[in-house]
């Protein structure tokens, strides 16, 4: 993973984080070159861990196939993976350092390691891994006040992260590295949201007051986030610091940032622009013109396809005596399943009580003979299974709702069924396991199939629903609303917009205009439990009732 901080040539900057894998390393280089052409300096954050509220903090889930894996340590299997990753990434960015005529002026050593700090040799290993591959620019670390005590590494400038400025924290930073520049690597302009809670906001006036004071103290500052964006697909993580069970993050990463989820200017943007203009001898250039959004006419669902009728589009199922967690399934060239749903099926012959033993990660819809009987999750670990005739199939559709992205439980983020499930106090055996990652090829196969039924027929849930959004002019950004639906995932022209859930706070899913085209656009919704047969649209993001960040 790589995070880029694009620093303006004064003392403030924009922060953007994104994934860099084998497919998009080339994109990262193009992005860096674009920053240079725009006259921006870059602070490079090559990870391998970046947090960013992403699933597993941006680390690949296949690392967890090793039952003894110790992430963010010098455990050999992890350092081997880091070496392999850096071998590909660092050689591509070294020519773009300032000393080589490029825009990279500094490189961060890992990210907020002080909050983890399980291995005293890890940060020196990461530092040496960067230096040995040709990194020559200023090295930095990034931690909150508590993490500063354990997250530094000799030879790297320590920087601090916070939202509310505490003078004692600045004194502490000064004390551990006197006579050195002071920098706020992450000034949190807002905060992330969790399903079932409220939308966090940080009042604009409070934010600007802190930024003004940071600049008055002659400290450098990065804004996290300047533009939040969206956790498209299944990339949103989970939050578990100090909690017995993970709390799941919403799809939107609007973050109450100066630029909205769709890139709109906000009050924060205008106030910050005024503050920063005081540090320029010349007037700032006019900002780019506002990108128009629209609320399209509602889409009426035309067809549906039961989950059970879609299974023949999945890979060959695995037969296993015991349940196998998602990461250890023999799919994706034996790299396991990372995201989406996994279906576990096994025969039963009686009524009784199902007990998850807290081995469901994270949420399972339970069916007997394809009839829904309830949900198993962190809060509900027992279900009554009704009586029926003869041998029946017990099905558990388990969703990875997001791996924890921060804290000390990263090694425990395996998903699916991670242990035995008991029925009448005896562990279930003889499973058939199917991966439902809902990749574009799978969605495309569904849409081309002839198995769709008309909405005149009553749908069987869970199900896929299909409709057409007609765009007559130039496509514009929009937001999907699903007030009559329960929980699921939306795909537009094969692209996964992310999860929706009626418990909120998030009420809309962002649809970038470039993902649409003139004419008919295909909209597919995977819905777990209910629908009113209509997809609505809004011209702006709706994020639910608000609460001030504490």
Please write the tens of the pLDDT for every residue from 254-263.
999 999 999 9
Query: Which sign does the torsion angle of CA 232, 44, 130, 181 carry?
Result: negative
- DSSP symbol at 293: B
Q: Is 382 a known active-site residue? A: no
Q: Which of 110, 186, 261, 327 is catalytic?
A: 186
Contact call for residues 533 and 455 (beta carbons, < 8 A): yes
Q: Is 528 a known active-site residue? A: no
Q: Which candidate, 549, 550, 496, 546, places its Cα nearest to that of 199?
A: 546
Please state, in angstroms and rounded to a whole number, the distance separating the CA atoms of residues 333 and 81: 17
Contact call for residues 46 and 89 (beta carbons, < 8 A): yes
33: part of which helix (H) or strand (E)?
Answer: helix 25-37
Long-range CB pairs of 209-215, under 8 A, 24+ apart, other chains included: 210/163, 210/164, 210/165, 211/12, 211/187, 211/272, 211/275, 212/275, 213/165, 214/165, 214/184, 214/187, 215/11, 215/12, 215/275, 215/279
Kindly give the parts of the chain with pLDDT less than 50. 1-24
| Residue listed under structure tokens 């990652």 | 437
Main-chain dihedrals φ then ψ at residue 101, nearest 5 degrees: 90, 5
Main-chain dihedrals φ then ψ at residue 508, nearest 5 degrees: -135, 160
Q: Which of 112, 261, 437, 527 is catalytic?
A: 112
Contact call for residues 236 and 499 (beta carbons, < 8 A): yes
What number of H helices and E strands is found in the chain? 8, 34
Please state, in angstroms and rounded to a whole number, the distance separating the CA atoms of residues 499 and 472: 27
Q: Which candidate, 428, 525, 388, places its Cα nearest to that of 468?
A: 525
Bond before 362 cis per omega within 30 degrees: yes
Q: Which residues pair with 480 in a beta bridge?
A: 509, 537
Bond before 38 cis per omega within 30 degrees: no
Q: Which candidate, 517, 506, 425, places its Cα nearest to that of 468?
A: 517
Q: Which candidate, 546, 438, 449, 542, places its Cα nearest to that of 495?
A: 438
How would you classify residue 538: left for phi > 0, otherwise alpha for psi between -120 and 50, otherwise beta?
A: beta
Query: Does residue 171 sit in helix, strand or coil?
Result: helix
What domains sit in the chain, N to C, each tagged with a CATH number? Answer: 2-188 (3.20.20.80), 307-436 (2.60.120.260), 439-548 (2.60.120.260)
The tokens for 427 are 């562990």
Q: Which candidate, 117, 72, 419, 363, places its Cα nearest to that of 246?
A: 363
Cβ burial 420-442 (10 Å sphere, 16+ → b, else e): ebbbeeeebeebebbbbbbbeeb
Which stretches of 439-521 are DSSP H helices?
440-448
Q: C-alpha dihedral over 314, 317, 323, 324, to 10 degrees? A: -70
CA 26 to chain CA centroid, Å, is 22
Q: CA angle, corner 346, sides to 345 and 348, nearest 5?
A: 135
Rg over CA atoms, the chain: 25
Look at residue 19 in the predicted model and tell me its pLDDT. Answer: 33
Contact call for residues 106 and 43 (beta carbons, < 8 A): yes
Please state, in angstroms and rounded to a whole number, the distance separating the CA atoms of residues 342 and 417: 9
């Amino acid at each position: 993973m790589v995070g880029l901080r694009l620093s303006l040539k004064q003392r403030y900057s924009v922060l953007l984080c994104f994934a860099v894998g084998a497919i998009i390393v080339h994109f990262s280089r193009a992005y860096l070159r674009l920053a240079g052409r725009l006259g921006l300096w870059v602070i490079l954050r090559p990870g391998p861990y970046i947090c960013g509220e992403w699933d597993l903090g941006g680390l690949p889930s296949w690392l967890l196939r090793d039952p003894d894996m110790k992430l963010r340590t010098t455990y050999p299997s992890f350092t081997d993976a880091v070496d392999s990753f850096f071998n590909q990434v660092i050689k591509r960015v070294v020519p773009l350092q300032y000393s080589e005529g490029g825009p990279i002026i500094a490189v961060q050593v890992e990210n907020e390691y002080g909050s983890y700090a399980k291995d005293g040799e890890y940060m020196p290993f990461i530092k040496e891994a960067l230096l040995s591959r040709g990194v020559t620019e200023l090295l930095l670390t990034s931690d909150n006040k508590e993490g500063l005590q354990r997250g530094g590494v000799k030879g790297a400038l320590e920087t601090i992260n916070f939202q509310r400025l505490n003078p004692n924290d600045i004194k502490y930073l000064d004390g551990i590295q006197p006579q050195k520049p002071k920098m706020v690597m992450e000034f949190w302009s807002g905060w992330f949201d969790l399903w079932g809670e409220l939308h966090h906001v940080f009042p604009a006036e409070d934010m600007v007051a802190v930024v003004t004071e940071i600049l008055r103290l002659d400290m450098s500052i990065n804004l996290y986030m300047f533009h939040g964006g969206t956790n498209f697909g299944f990339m949103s993580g989970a939050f578990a610091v100090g909690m017995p069970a993970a709390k799941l993050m919403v799809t939107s990463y609007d973050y109450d940032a100066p630029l909205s989820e769709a890139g709109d200017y906000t009050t924060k943007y205008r106030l910050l622009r005024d503050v920063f203009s005081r540090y320029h001898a010349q007037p700032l250039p006019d900002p780019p013109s506002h990108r128009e959004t629209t609320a399209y006419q509602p889409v009426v669902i035309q067809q549906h396809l039961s989950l059970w009728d879609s299974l023949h589009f999945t890979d060959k199922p695995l037969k296993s005596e015991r349940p196998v967690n998602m990461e250890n399934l023999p799919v994706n060239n034996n790299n396991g399943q990372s995201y989406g749903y996994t279906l576990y099926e096994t025969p039963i012959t009686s009524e009784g009580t199902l007990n998850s033993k807290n081995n469901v990660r994270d949420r399972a819809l339970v069916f007997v003979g394809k009839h829904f009987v309830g949900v198993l999750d962190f809060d509900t670990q027992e279900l009554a299974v009704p009586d029926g005739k003869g041998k029946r199939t017990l099905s558990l559709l388990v969703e990875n709702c997001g791996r924890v992205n921060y804290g000390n439980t990263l090694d425990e983020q395996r998903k699916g069924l991670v242990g035995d499930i008991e029925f009448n106090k005896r562990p279930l055996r003889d499973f058939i396991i199917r991966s439902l990652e809902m990749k574009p090829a799978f969605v495309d196969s569904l849409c081309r199939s002839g198995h769709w039924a008309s909405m005149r027929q009553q749908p069987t849930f869970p199900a896929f629903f299909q409709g057409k959004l007609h765009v007559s002019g130039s496509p514009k950004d929009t937001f999907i609303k699903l007030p009559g639906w329960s929980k699921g995932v939306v795909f537009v022209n094969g692209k996964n917009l992310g999860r929706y859930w009626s418990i909120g706070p998030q009420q809309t899913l962002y649809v970038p205009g470039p993902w649409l085209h003139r004419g008919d656009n295909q909209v597919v919704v995977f819905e777990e439990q209910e629908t009113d047969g209509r997809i609505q649209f809004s011209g702006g993001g709706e994020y639910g009732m608000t609460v001030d960040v504490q």
